[in-house]
């Protein structure tokens, strides 16, 4: 496993370790060495997202079709995910309070915001 960790992604190593755990359980090896708490998997390091600069965003808006501009500006200004922006309805817009209401079915965490 240690040799494979150098060339394979952490998720693939985790899947192979799961198969090894099930195989040792099926064979009946006690204690199961693959389930030992000292077995550590490599960490999956996610790359941090770099949003476009103001100039780049304005260039995107200038080049986009007119019908998509409001959607792009709403996503950018409201820090929304695409799925959250697509489920917005006029009743979710609080003009007086300058707020958007997102139902929990539209958010990633299943919590309204």
Per-residue pLDDT tens over the stretch 28-77: 989 988 888 888 887 878 888 888 899 999 999 999 999 999 999 999 98
74 with 88: CB under 8 angstroms? yes
Q: What does the pLDDT read at residue 59?
A: 95
Region 77-97: what's the mean pLDDT?
Answer: 86
Per the structure block, which two tokens stand in for 49?
């997202």
pLDDT (mean) for 93-106? 83
The whole-number pLDDT of residue 60 equals 92
* CA pair distance 44, 65, nearest whole angstrom: 38
């Amino acid at each position: 496993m240690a040799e494979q960790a150098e060339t394979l992604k952490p998720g693939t190593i985790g899947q192979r370790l799961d198969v090894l755990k099930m195989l040792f359980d099926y064979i009946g090896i006690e204690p199961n060495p693959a389930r030992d708490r000292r077995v550590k998997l490599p960490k999956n390091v996610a790359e941090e997202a770099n949003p476009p600069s103001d100039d780049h965003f304005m260039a995107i808006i200038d080049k986009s079709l007119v019908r998509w501009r409001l959607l792009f500006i709403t996503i950018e200004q409201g820090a929304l995910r695409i799925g959250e922006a697509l489920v917005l309805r006029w009743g979710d817009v609080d003009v007086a309070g300058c707020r958007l209401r997102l139902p929990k079915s539209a958010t990633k965490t299943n919590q309204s915001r």
